[in-house]
A and B are shown apart, each in its own frame.
Chain A
Amino acid sequence: MCLRMEHHVVLDTAHQAPTVEITVDGRPVSAYEGEPILAALLANGIRVNRYTVKRHEPRGLFCGIGQCTDCAMIVDGIPNVRTCITSVRAGMVVETQDGLGKKVAP
């Protein structure tokens, strides 16, 4: 499933930024450099970013502007990174966050 916008009546959807590869839970995902990590993941059909501490419920994009923390993930080993306000860099390692930052069991 690709959710990238192809054509738009108002916006120019031609991406200026180079395509780079990041790793998400061990598999390669292509992304545009500089876009929010969350957008790259959503474009590739990845909608769960973390699981809650007590009830282990999935969470994903909710506010999209750094307020709600539902999209927090582990980025390059750092937990609780709000992926909606953190930019993609080539080679980033992104992991689904379980609770307060432990990795999800495979």
Chain B
Amino acid sequence: MMIRKEVVVVGAGPAGLSAAIEAARAGADTLLVDLNLKPGGQLFKQIHKFFGSSSHRSGTRGIDIGKLLVREAQEAGVELWLKSTVVGLFPGYKVGIQRGGDDETKELVTVHAKKIVIATGASENVVRFKGWTTPGVMGAGAAQTMVNVNHVKPGQRIVMLGSGNVGLIVSYQLMQAGCEVVALVEAAPNIGGYAVHAAKICRAGVPLYTKHTIVEAVAGEDGCLRQVVIAQVDETFQPIPGTEQTLEADCVAIGAGLKPSAELLRLLNCRFMFSGAFGGYIPLHNEKMETSLSGIYVAGDSTGVEEANTALEEGRIAGVSAAEQLGLIDGARADARRTEIWERLKALRQGPFGERRQTAEDEILREYAAQVGVPAEEVMPEVLTEAI
């Protein structure tokens, strides 16, 4: 089966939704693909109010921004395929999509796109300790999904590992859901996330164990988590023998950061670079959010782990640029839109946490100029060309 679309957007989180909205509003025939049951990515588990300026809907909960984006995408005429996984990108802007849930008959569809936007988000980092695969040990994002999206508690007594913003916010949200957070464990000497989030946890009386780590997850007779052994760590983050404490808990949530997921762009040999501030290897992009290949764009956490707001803005740039390249928006207007959005992105990348990301973003743009300059017209990856 062969389908043609002007723009195919992979991932229906904040970046993908806003890219699809911009492209569709400009008149592009736009397809948005996501493997989940519902669109919105991780926005629907963000029940807290966002920070930032009024232009970034500060004070609005992520869940409400998600609802708004989904409505805007519908109104703009974006075609949405859910339970659909992009399994490959092939030379000639072909997108291989597996449609259908795991319990259904799946079909493989090839969509011929003119422009492609990759907005595939990020995945959670894991901390490995003895027993880390025991049922009950999970990502902090998984615990957050359970309470905020599915309204089911991942356990009664939680040990949170990691005190970045995810660890802090999810701890608070688990308490809102009726769980008890019995410990917040952090290997560093200080709390990693914003003081405002940490203060909420402190006020609620959650015991904070800085300079500590989890050394073992102990399973009960049913094979599921029953106890968690924590210990103090030295300056090199090694557990200090004799400092172990055993906590009764049925859930460990690991909030150890995220790493960008952009595997699809590897298939096309897009240029990548390592960025510690952005969480790992990320595809290079220019001011149009275009990768090293012409007509293939990237936005959101897949090109650097940040926040929903930055993902949303990057998605807009990608959508505007794709529409411009299709000749649906004239160059001057597209430039003006991008300038305005980059200004807002700059505003989001301020302060002690943001500055690091602004520096990293500048570095990516510089690397792009140095390594790529003008995006390659040919989508055929070098290896394939050689093989042929």
Contacts and interface: CB of A to CB of B under 8 A. Distances in A.
B139 A81 contact: no
B177 interface: yes
Contact of B133 (A6, A43, A59): A59
Contacts of A49: 135
Interface in A55-98: 57-67, 70, 75-76, 78, 80-82, 84-87
Contact of B102 (A9, A15, A43, A86): A86
Interface in B76-128: 83, 101-103, 123-124
B135 A5 contact: no
Contacts of A48: 135, 222-224
A7 B102 CA distance: 32
Interface in B110-155: 123-124, 133-139, 141-143, 145-148, 150-155
A76 B151 contact: no
Contact of A4 (B42, B61, B145, B152): B152
Contacts of B146: 39, 42, 61, 64
Given A5-B151, A48-B224, A65-B36, A11 B47 contact: yes
Contacts of B134: 58
Contact of B177 (A5, A66, A80): A5
Nearest to B101: A86
Contacts, number: 113
Given A10-B47, A11-B148, A47-B224, A36 B142 contact: no
A35 B152 CA distance: 11
Interface string B222-266: 111000000000000000000000000000000000000000000
Main SS of the interface on chain B?
loop
**Interface class of chain A by DSSP:** loop
B35 A61 contact: no
A35 B223 contact: no
B156 interface: yes
Contacts of B53: none
B224 A60 contact: yes
Contact of A58 (B101, B152, B223): B223
B124 A6 contact: no
A92 to B, nearest CB: 8
A85 B35 contact: yes
B154 A4 contact: no
A45 to B, nearest CB: 9
Contacts of A60: 135-136, 138, 224
Contacts of A59: 133, 135
Size category of the A interface is 35 or more
A82 B155 CA distance: 20
Nearest to B178: A5
A43 B147 CA distance: 11
Contact of B135 (A4, A58, A75, A80): A58
A3 B250 CA distance: 12
B74 interface: no
B37 interface: yes
B350 interface: no
B222 A36 contact: no
Interface of B: 35-37, 42, 47, 61, 83, 101-103, 123-124, 133-139, 141-143, 145-148, 150-156, 176-178, 219, 222-224
Given A58-B135, A64-B142, A66-B36, 11 more contacts: A5-B178, A10-B47, A39-B146, A42-B154, A47-B135, A60-B224, A61-B154, A62-B138, A75-B103, A85-B37, A87-B101
8 contacts: A8-B176, A11-B47, A36-B150, A39-B152, A61-B138, A64-B139, A85-B102, A86-B102
In the A-B complex, list the 3 residue pairs whose CB atoms are closest, starting with the nearest: A60-B135, A64-B142, A39-B150
